[in-house]
Amino acid sequence: YRTRTIPANGLNPKYDESVFEFRKIVLPDLAILRIAVYEETGKLIGQRVLPLDGLQAG
């Protein structure tokens, strides 16, 4: 899933896009969520990988 670039949105960006939902997780004990932030040029700024079994619904 990829959001569009928000120009000049400062340190607290606001994304007015639809909510992303996980429809079905086949192996929840092994599933991870990777969140990555890139510059417009494609350079990776930072990322975080989280196990899905540690996240709460909502």
Q: pTM for the full model?
A: 0.65
Percent of the chain with pLDDT over 70: 97
Instruction: Give the mean model confidence (pLDDT) for residues 14-30.
Output: 80
H/E stretch holding 47 reads strand 44-51
Distance separating alpha carbons of residues 48 and 58, to the nearest angstrom: 19
**Mean pLDDT across the stretch 5-17?**
74
Q: Is the pLDDT of residue 58 over 70?
A: no
Local confidence band at 56 (pLDDT 50, 70, 90 cut-offs): confident
pLDDT digits (tens, 9 = 90+) for 25-48: 888 889 998 999 888 888 999 999
Do the Cβ atoms of 57 and 47 come closer than 8 Å? no
